[in-house]
Structure 1
Amino acid sequence: MSNRQIEIAAALNVVPPFADTAALVAEVERRKAFIKQCLRNAHVKVLVLGISGGVDSLTAGRLAQLSVEELRAETGDDGYQFIAVRLPYNIQHDEHDAAASMQFIRADVEDTVNIAGAVLGLSEQVAHLHGLTDARRDFVIGNAKARIRMVAQYTIANANNGLVIGTDHAAEAVMGFFTKFGDGACDLAPLSGLVKHQVRAIARHLGAPENLVEKVPTADLEELRPGKPDEEAHGVTYAQIDAFLHGEKVSEEAYAIIVRTYDNSQHKRELPFAP
């Protein structure tokens, strides 16, 4: 294990590999306790999360639902609720996976906000988009989609005096693979510190369908490349990222890509620059 691996894993609070099933179960219980404590500390009773159809929101969503169910049982207060919201841009290409995720999560409240009108309305008003290449414009608007989705989640949370859940985990954090003030914005991040295969392991333990557990991860923000795999954008696989974060040996190329990307995306993991 290199010094950089140790440094980066510590900065991201990476959870060590699960030694056995008992360790996995203990981590699930710790995460639920964290979610419940966040609600208590904020003196609110509602959680909101956008469900994409990927394993990250699937896992965070089910943990949220289980947590509010436990709070209701512990307190006798039915005010504790989880709102799962679908946030498609027109018709999502993997809508069947999003629907299956919602069916698995079994949220107290299910909602849908189609963000297409908001994104298109914004795009029409921003003249700076007009001179860009198709690829660059698609990328910029993709980030706008992520930010509009978070605006929608916070609007729902504000209307219900609740908190917004994020789905960031260590394998995405190390690559800066989130939109700043988009999916990177939230009130609590219950998957923080986990690597990708640990998220999948928790989802599997919770009973998620195997096709959703092992679904190819995609941010699905770009219209020119719908469903573009995360790993293609990374230039390395999640297996390599996970291995790096757990202090295992990876190829020199993978090591260089991960360290360079981590360094270049540091601003995304920090508070705004200040004098």
Structure 2
Amino acid sequence: MHIDNGFNTEAINNHIVNWLRNYATNAKIKGFVVGISGGIDSALTSTLCAQTGLPTLCVSMPIHQAASQVHRGKEHIAQLKERFSNVSDTEADLTPVFEIFKKQVPESDNEQLYNLTLANTRARLRMTTLYYYAGIHGALVAGTGNKVEDFGVGFYTKYGDGGVDVSPIADLMKSEVRTLARHTGVPQSIIDAKPTDGLFGDDRSDEDQLGASYDELEWAMLEDENGANANDFAGRQKEVFAIYKRLNTINQHKMNPIPICEIPNNLK
């Protein structure tokens, strides 16, 4: 696990909360909407939003969700509402919406691509739902992605969980998310739970999909930032570094601005 010795938990907590409050105030927005998955990232994000004192709506959006994820999400919301009077919650069961959508589009002969596309569709249905609630409440959608996901391996859905207004924890490594989650009182059951995006309706973890743990990917991201290359490593380290580089490369389209076809002045 990598945690910088200079990581000042209390100061960083206060910095993020002040940043969120100031951003919302300057934008003349009333509060925040956060999608709750039962995972540590959404638990920390919603806790930080709650600390602003601004209205914070926690939204559960099950789509054939595993019972363990639903239980953890409810546990988190319950304790958050006990601690903060500005927190409210709602549930939008998107399972029937998802099933109707599937009936309106063709299946694919490529089962792997079909399942992946449906998983991304779940994330985009949730994004649409969060923006609906944000719209009727005059609120901002708070993103839950961490630095490894958002800028390391691009482990999120474009215009799904990547479609947000503010990203309060996107400059925190996963180890730092865990540290801040403990500091802010996120339930231990969530901190200890194996990370999962919950988009496949089964118990597969993020590590199952990525081929490496977040601690390993965090290590690889830091090594890459320091100019390392695959030949610097052997064994598992070499394997993890290769996984990181492959994902970082193929997911640049998520991290970079949308390409614009610029028209030369002499053609206008």
TM over 0.5: yes
Paired residue secondary structure (1:85): strand
Contact 1:200-1:214 at 8 Å conserved across structures: no
Question: Which among 196, 204, 214 is matched to residue 238 of structure 1?
Answer: 214
Deviations 1:76-95 (A, max 9, x none): xxxx3111111111454222
Match of residue 117 from structure 1: 96
Contact 1:82-1:108 at 8 Å conserved across structures: yes
Deviates more, 1:154-163 or 1:85-94: 85-94
Distance 1:184 1:39, change over 3 A: same
Deviations 1:176-231 (A, max 9, x none): 100000001100010011111110110101122222112100011113xx121101
1:206 maps to amino acid: T
Structure-1 separation of matches of 2:240 and 2:108: 35
Query: Structure 1 stretches of 5 or more lacking a match?
Result: 1-15, 70-79
Structure-2 separation of matches of 1:153 and 1:164: 7
Query: Structure 2 stretches of 5 or more lacking a match?
Result: 262-268
Distance 1:91 1:180, change over 3 A: closer
Report how many aligned residue pairs link the two structures: 244
The 5-angstrom pairing of residues 255-274 of structure 1 reads 255-274=241-260
The 5-angstrom pairing of residues 131-170 of structure 1 reads 131-170=108-147
Structure-2 separation of matches of 1:105 and 1:245: 33
With normalisation by structure 2, the TM-score equals: 0.85
Tell me by how many angstroms 1:245 deviates.
Answer: 3.1
Structure-2 separation of matches of 1:83 and 1:182: 18
Tell me by how many angstroms 1:105 deviates.
Answer: 2.4
Deviations 1:59-107 (A, max 9, x none): 001000011x2xxxxxxxxxx3111111111454222111111123226
State the percentage of identical aligned residues.
25
Matched, 1:28 2:2: no
Match of residue 12 from structure 1: none
Deviations 1:18-62 (A, max 9, x none): 4257x1111111111111121012111121011000000000010
Match of residue 199 from structure 2: 221
Match of residue 72 from structure 2: 97
1:131 maps to amino acid: S
Contact 2:32-2:55 at 8 Å conserved across structures: yes
